[in-house]
Amino acid sequence: MVHKIPVTVVVLTKNSQALIAACLDSVKWADEIIVIDDESTDQTLEIARRYTDRVFVRKLVLEGRDRNWAYAQARNTWVLSLDSDEIVTPELKEEIENVLLANPAENGFTIPRRNYIGDCWVKYGGWYPAPQLKLFKKDKFRFEEVEIHGRAFMEDPCGHLKSDIIHYTYRDLADFLNKLNRQTTLEALKWFNNNKPMRLGRFIYRAIDRFMRAYVGRKGYKDGFMGFVVAFYASLYQIISYLKYRELVLKKKGQGRIEHE
- Taking the model in full, what pTM does it have? 0.86
Asked whether residue 253 carries a pLDDT value surpassing 70, the answer given is: no
CATH fourth-level superfamily of 5-170: Spore Coat Polysaccharide Biosynthesis Protein SpsA; Chain A (3.90.550.10)
pLDDT tens digits along 9-33: 999 999 999 999 999 999 999 999 9
pLDDT tens digits along 199-220: 888 889 999 999 999 999 999 9
Q: Is the dihedral of CA 238, 15, 150, 229 positive or negative?
A: negative
Task: Give yes or no for a contact between 241 and 196, defined as CB atoms under 8 angstroms apart.
Answer: no
Indicate where the chain has its CATH 3.90.550.10 domain(s): 5-170
Residue 137 β-bridge partners: 78
Of 121, 124, 98, 122, the C-alpha closest to 109 is 98
- Residues with Cβ within 8 Å of residue 9, at least 6 apart in sequence: 27, 30, 32, 33, 34, 79, 80, 82
Diameter over CA atoms, the chain: 62
pLDDT tens digits along 27-78: 999 999 999 999 999 999 999 999 999 999 998 888 889 999 999 999 999 9
69 exposure class (CB count in 10 Å sphere: 0-12, 13-18, 19+): middle
